[in-house]
Amino acid sequence: MDDFGQLTRWLWASTAILEVFLLSLLVLRRNVNNYPAFSVYIFMTLAQSGLLFLAIQKWGFSSLMSWWIGWGTQAVVLGARAFAVAELCWHILGRFRGIWALSRRILVSSGAVVLGYALVTARHDWRLVLNTLELGLELAVAAVIVTVLLFARYYKVAVKPALRLLAIGFCGYSCISVLNDAILEKWLSSYVQLWNAFGMIAFLACLLVWNWAFRMPVAQPANPAFIDGSIYMRLIPEVNWRLRSLDEQLIEMWRLETPRS
């Protein structure tokens, strides 16, 4: 335990308590059935905390074994996080079959593009390969969440307050992680302790937000009554054609109606 600072120890304990509390809320409020991926993610983070605690106690903070356990469990947690984010996206738009099929492709593409860009432009230092991967994934997660929220906004799909809080937590934590990882990449040696503390504080804040989101059971909205597919094919091309005409009309107005000097 000597490897832990006082602040880190305190943060560690608070995080674990909040994780247990959140898991209890998910089970007691029966949200676990509707949010299985999120529940697994929270369980994974709790398990990671426990494993790391034991590893650092046994082998020390700077040991190779602790390093392997730390990044190994982090990879699993990141995977669970990706599933939880996918679940969040599904809860926001999944009921609407048509736009969900469309948005799913856009979300996967935007996530892949952001991840690819982050990895390609990263500093290629073998010591930081996992750190770089994490940075890319977090940036992709943030981009996906923002895209799904904007999608919902464009289609005027109301997002439940609990889902909004989940999104804020995921996106906020991802943004802080990205900045944290970027700073760690640049000032590796002198920043490790601070990096840990910042990451934990950010996650603690997210846990508070998520606990608040799940303080009550989150009801599943009813599926909408879909209309016949032919209505879309009949009306929408017509709407688009009219909109195009309207747009052309505006161009004409602008060209022709300025006073001739």
Partner 1 sequence: MSIVLLAGAVAVILGLLFLGVRPMRHDQPGAPHLEAIEEPARQHATYFRVIRQAMSEEDLAFLATRGPLGLVRRAHKERQRIALLYLSDLRADFEKLLRLARVIAVLSPAVPASHEFERLQLTVRFLWRYQMVHAGLYAGLLLLPQLSGLSQIVSELAFRMESAMKDLGERAAVAAELASTVNRSGLDAA
Residues 200-229 that bind partner 1 (CB under 8 A): 221-229
Of the candidate residues 121, 125, 192, 193, the single one contacting partner 1 (CB under 8 A): 121
Supply angle C-alpha 8, 174, 67, rounded to 5.
Answer: 50
Q: Which amino acid is at 112?
A: A
Q: Which of residues 66-95 bind partner 1 (CB under 8 A)?
A: 95
Cα–Cα dist 153/93, whole Å: 11
Widest pairwise Cα distance in the chain: 86
Q: Which of residues 40-69 bind partner 1 (CB under 8 A)?
A: none
Of the candidate residues 26, 89, 133, 143, the single one contacting partner 1 (CB under 8 A): 143
Cα–Cα dist 175/196, whole Å: 15
Of the candidate residues 5, 72, 98, 116, the single one contacting partner 1 (CB under 8 A): 98
Give the range of 6-14, 23-31, 42-50, 99-107 binding partner 1 by CB under 8 A.
99-107
| 129 near partner 1 (CB under 8 A) | no
Whichever of 64 and 251 has its CB closer to partner 1, that residue is 251
Q: What are phi and psi of 127, to 5 degrees?
A: -70, -20
| 149 near partner 1 (CB under 8 A) | yes
| 244 near partner 1 (CB under 8 A) | yes
| 249 near partner 1 (CB under 8 A) | yes
| 154 near partner 1 (CB under 8 A) | yes
Of the candidate residues 69, 152, 200, 206, the single one contacting partner 1 (CB under 8 A): 152
| 145 near partner 1 (CB under 8 A) | yes
Of the candidate residues 1, 127, 189, 246, the single one contacting partner 1 (CB under 8 A): 246
Of the candidate residues 97, 113, 124, 193, the single one contacting partner 1 (CB under 8 A): 97
- Angle of the 129-154 helix axis to the 161-186 helix axis, nearest 10: 150
Of the candidate residues 64, 257, 260, 261, the single one contacting partner 1 (CB under 8 A): 257
Cα–Cα dist 23/43, whole Å: 7
The tokens for 203 are 């996650």
Instruction: Find out whether 18 and 204 touch, Cβ atoms under 8 Å.
Output: yes
Q: What is the DSSP letter of 158?
A: P
Cβ-proximal residues to 99 (8 Å cutoff; 6+ apart), any chain: 93, 151, 155, 157
